[in-house]
Amino acid sequence: MQKRTLGRSGISIAPLVFGGNVFGWTADRQRSFELLDHFTGKGFNAVDTADVYSAWAPGLSGGESETVIGEWLAQRKRRDDVVLMTKVGMWNPRKGLSAANIEAAANDSLKRLQTDYIDVYFAHIDDADVPFEETLGAFSRLIEAGKVRAIGASNHKADRLQAALDAAKAAGLPRYEIVQPGYSLYDRSEFEQSLLPVIQSEGIGAVSYFSLASGFLTGKYRSKADLEVSSRKAMLDGYFDARGERILAALREVADEVKAPQAQVALAWLMSRPGLTAPIASATSTAQLDEIMGATDLDLPADARDRLDAASR
């Protein structure tokens, strides 16, 4: 499988990242192992998680996803085959980007993941209360100790990302080599209008979350009426505006033409976009996983890409 390089990090990944928020939550340990086996068995290599996953779920407190991944890595002994991404800063017990918190959180994550190093360690939030020099200095010490290979910024606005890059250059500290923004056919403007100029000029990689707009683009929901029996009603209700309906219509049309599932088409469109290294997507069954992995083999015709682009403007 043709890999893509994450900015200037020297780390290469397949053009789809597995979103590990489901591990230990909607996918139990056994199912998570099956999914990871299937994903890596098909030649994919990047898995994204965070210390906070899945603290929002009843009965869970955070750290579950990292723990499951760590158990899988220990059993399968596949560490060298996997690009492991995790994050610090959002989880209440390890909140913020102070130097002390980053060091403690990294050591905690390494224990749960049962590994000596993290390939990409993301600042999960932008912590305006801590100087960039302190945050980047803490990341620098982790890199020097061999605990982290590269660092990234998640949920950072373009101006703050640029300020962090400038601070790193001025202080001679490691810079953010990867960003993780929300980006999909529905949610485009912030990435394309603000972040994209920065990451292109600075040579930064990008992996996107909410790549299927929280399920809106999967084909499961054809109209607002479909939400009435869905647990995602509150999350997806706002997507069913005039623009959202227009996007779904174009997506269905293209999916019918190329004879592919809507989720596959939506991900393939993202994979073709300038500046994006790879989208992140999750699955809780091997059938779902096959569907999203198939996006890497789907070459959308230029006319189809243009129609999706126009519908989502």
As annotated, the active-site residues are 53
Quick check: 155 and 124 in contact, CB under 8 A? yes
Pick the closest to residue 50 from 183, 273, 207 (CA basis).
207
